Amino acid sequence: MSHLATHYWTLLILLASLGHACQNAGQPVPEGAGVVGEEADVFLSVVLGMGDSALLAEHYWSRGALYQAGELVQGPANMLDHWRSLPQVGALREYRSLGKTYHDSTHYYEWGHYLDTAGIPRLASLIAWQLRVAGGWRRDLEILHPYQAQSRAIPAAIDRARGDWVRYSNAQDPTTLIERVYASDAVYFNDGRVDRGRSAITQRYQYMTRPGWTIQLYPRHLAWLGADAIVEVGQYQSSGIGHYVLFWQQQADGTWQARLDHNF
């Protein structure tokens, strides 16, 4: 690698680190949190066949979920079966965290990659962490997607879709919001409860019809997971302040729609 290329990549790494530090400035940083060190090693050893569902349950909340390929799976046995069915799983050896957004001292989002023995990313991951008093940190939700590096910019269609989300919500019209912005098989997952499909999510979002309802979404992190998938982590402000994840996927007609919605 030339000296110029080396300096270029060093600059990118420094800028990414600075951006991450600024993103989390002023936010409470959880103690001992995340997929780091021994936790990551033990977790992967369970997934790779060296443990059973009881051991996997030590890494997920009792009502937590795994989302992959449009399917949301709950229960340790079901999640372990799903993990072990993935074609990439046999090659996985390491997890690398790429960033975090903290909601408070007991909730945060973390994104990263599961790498193979050659250090090549095979699975992209987004984890919603919760601190459970009795059991420490547990995954509330984990999104997995086969990783494919993309050099493209995030399409403007994502900004338009998010703008429609805010516009229809503030018009107190959850029916049109869900119909226009969400895929027909979309899932809303919050606090262990699953709402599948547009009709169920529309019913869940009926609180938006209250007089005076308003909300704003502020994206904090967007990243390609694959050629047709983007994850968005952001902050919302309504009667209070919270954080959200939207998993966007390009549909057969070329449009981008939300397939998974989660929030703290």
In tens digits, what is the pLDDT along the chain, a chain of 264 residues?
444 333 433 333 333 333 443 344 345 555 555 555 578 889 999 999 988 999 999 999 999 999 999 999 999 999 999 999 999 999 999 999 999 999 999 999 999 999 999 999 999 999 999 998 776 899 999 999 999 999 999 999 999 999 999 999 999 999 999 999 999 999 999 999 999 999 999 999 999 999 999 999 999 999 999 999 999 999 999 999 999 999 999 999 999 999 999 999
CATH code assigned to 3-146: 3.10.450.50
Tell me the β-bridge partners of 260: 187, 247
State in words which class domain 156-263 has.
alpha beta
- How far apart CA 57 and CA 76 sit, in angstroms, is 5
Other Cβ atoms closer than 10 A to 82: 19
3 state SS of 75? coil
Yes or no: say if 166 and 150 are a contact pair by the CB < 8 Å rule: no
DSSP state of 255: -
The SS3 assignment for 230 reads strand
Segments making up each domain of the chain, as ranges = 3-146, 156-263
